[in-house]
C-alpha cells in the first residue's frame, strides 16, 4: 500500500482537522501516512481520537508556512517548513505522494524545487475538480479544470501539455476511457481567443489519444460537454473562485430565506432532500483535492478550508493516484504524442 506524506500544519483548520483526517484513514484503510509537523501538537490531537499507530508516522518540524504568507519568501525563509519536509520525503522515496491543504503557491514552489519535471514538460499545472451535469451514463460527476493558478499565463505548447496531462489523469482517476477535453475560451469558434488559443486549438485537434471537443464557453462549464477543461492559470483561478462563491451564496440565500418566513421554511422542508443533494454536489469536502501535474511525483492540494473528511478523501485520492500509476500514464501519454 502507498505511503502518503501529509502536511499536518497546512490549512485553515490545521493541525486539528488534518490529523483527525489522517487518523480516520489509519482506521479505515491500509494506507500508511506520514504526518509532518509539530509533534506535540499532532500528538495532542491523536490523544483525543481513535487511530492505529502502526499506520501513522510523525516527522517533527518546528516551521510552517501560513496560508497568507508570500510563497517565494516563505519557501526561502523556512527550509524546514512542514510542507517542504513532506515534499522532500516524497522526493527521497520515503513516501509516494504528498497531501497538503496549505499555501497553494508554496506547494507549487515546493514541487518545482524538489520534484523533477516530467520529460518535455515546461510548466506545472494545478488542477481542481468541480461538480457539473452529466450528459451520458457513466460520466463522472466531477470535471477536471486545469490550470487554476500554477502558471498565470501560458503558451500554446503549455496548454497542449495541460490537456495531455489532464486527460491521462482523468483516464486513471475517473476511469473514463476517453475523457473529453475542452479549451475554455470566449467563443466556440476555432479562431477565438487570440493567437495562443487559436494555436492551441489547432494543435489539440491533431493529437492522438486526446479526445478534443473544441472550445468551451463559460455557460458550458457546468454541463457535461467536457471532462477536462484546459485554460491558463489566471482564468482558471477566477473560474474556480467564482464557482465556490456561487455555491456559498446559494447556501447563504437558502438560509436567509428560511429565516425570513415560515412559508419558505416549510417549502425548504418539503424540498429538503433536493437541497441536501445540491449541497452534497457542491460540497468540496467530498472530493478531497486535486493534483499538481507535471512532475515525477504527485502532490494533492486539498482546499484550504478542508476539514477531516476532506483530508481523508484527499489522502485516498493520493493513494489511488499512486496505485493506479497516474504519473506513469501521464509520462506515457507525453511520450506517445
Site residues, other proteins (CB under 8 A): 20, 23-24, 27, 32, 38-40, 43, 46-62, 79-80, 85, 88-89, 92-94
Q: Tell me the C-alpha distance between 111 and 166, whole Å.
A: 18
Nearer to other proteins, 36 or 226 (CB): 36
**Minimum distance from CB of 175 to other proteins (Å)?**
29
**Minimum distance from CB of 82 to other proteins (Å)?**
11
Q: Tell me the C-alpha distance between 2 and 297, whole Å.
A: 13
| Selection from 321, 281, 307, 335 nearest residue 130 by Cα | 281
Nearer to other proteins, 17 or 227 (CB): 17
Nearer to other proteins, 80 or 279 (CB): 80
Segment (H or E) for 298 = strand 298-302
**Minimum distance from CB of 60 to other proteins (Å)?**
5
Q: How far is CA 77 from CA 37, 70, 71, 198, 226, in A?
A: 17, 11, 10, 41, 41
DSSP codes joined into one string, 118-135: PTT--S-EEEEEEE---S
292-305 core/surface letters (b: 16 or more CB in 10 A; e: else): bbbbbbbbbbbbbe
**Minimum distance from CB of 80 to other proteins (Å)?**
5
**Minimum distance from CB of 93 to other proteins (Å)?**
7
Q: Tell me the C-alpha distance between 296 and 331, whole Å.
A: 9
Nearer to other proteins, 81 or 144 (CB): 81
Nearer to other proteins, 60 or 113 (CB): 60
Amino acid at each position: 500500500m502507498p505511503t502518503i506524506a501529509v502536511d499536518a500544519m497546512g490549512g485553515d483548520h490545521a493541525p486539528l482537522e488534518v490529523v483527525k483526517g489522517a487518523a480516520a484513514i489509519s482506521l479505515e484503510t491500509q494506507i500508511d501516512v506520514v504526518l509532518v509537523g509539530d509533534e506535540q501538537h499532532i500528538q495532542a490531537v491523536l490523544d483525543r481520537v481513535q487511530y492505529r499507530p502502526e499506520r501513522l508516522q510523525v516527522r517533527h518540524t518546528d516551521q510552517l508556512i501560513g496560508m497568507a504568507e508570500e510563497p517565494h519568501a516563505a519557501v526561502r525563509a523556512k527550509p524546514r517548513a512542514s510542507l517542504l519536509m513532506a515534499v522532500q520525503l516524497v522526493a527521497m522515496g520515503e513516501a509516494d505522494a504528498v497531501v497538503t491543504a496549505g499555501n497553494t503557491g508554496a506547494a507549487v514552489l515546493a514541487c518545482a524545487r524538489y520534484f523533477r519535471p516530467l520529460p518535455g514538460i515546461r510548466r506545472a499545472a494545478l488542477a481542481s475538480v468541480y461538480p457539473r451535469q452529466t450528459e451520458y451514463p457513466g460520466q463522472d460527476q466531477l470535471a477536471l479544470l486545469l490550470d487554476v493558478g500554477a502558471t498565470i499565463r501560458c503558451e500554446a505548447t503549455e496548454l497542449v501539455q495541460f490537456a495531455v496531462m489532464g486527460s491521462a489523469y482523468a483516464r486513471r482517476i475517473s476511469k473514463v476511457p476517453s475523457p473529453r477535453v475542452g479549451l475554455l475560451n470566449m467563443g466556440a469558434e476555432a479562431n477565438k481567443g487570440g493567437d495562443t488559443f487559436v494555436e492551441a486549438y489547432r494543435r489539440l485537434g491533431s493529437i492522438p489519444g486526446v479526445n478534443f471537443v473544441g472550445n468551451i464557453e463559460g455557460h458550458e462549464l457546468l454541463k457535461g460537454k467536457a471532462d477536462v477543461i484546459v485554460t491558463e492559470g489566471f482564468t482558471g483561478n477566477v473560474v474556480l473562485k467564482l464557482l465556490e462563491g456561487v455555491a456559498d451564496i446559494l447556501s447563504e440565500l437558502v438560509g436567509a430565506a428560511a429565516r425570513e418566513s415560515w412559508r419558505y421554511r416549510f417549502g425548504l422542508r418539503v424540498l429538503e432532500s433536493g437541497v441536501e443533494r445540491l449541497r452534497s454536489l457542491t460540497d468540496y469536502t467530498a472530493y478531497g483535492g486535486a493534483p499538481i501535474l507535471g512532475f515525477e511525483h504527485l502532490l494533492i492540494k486539498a482546499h484550504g478550508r478542508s476539514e477531516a473528511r476532506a483530508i481523508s478523501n484527499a489522502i485516498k485520492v493520493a493513494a489511488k493516484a499512486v496505485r493506479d500509476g497516474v504519473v506513469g500514464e501521464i509520462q506515457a501519454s507525453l511520450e506517445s504524442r
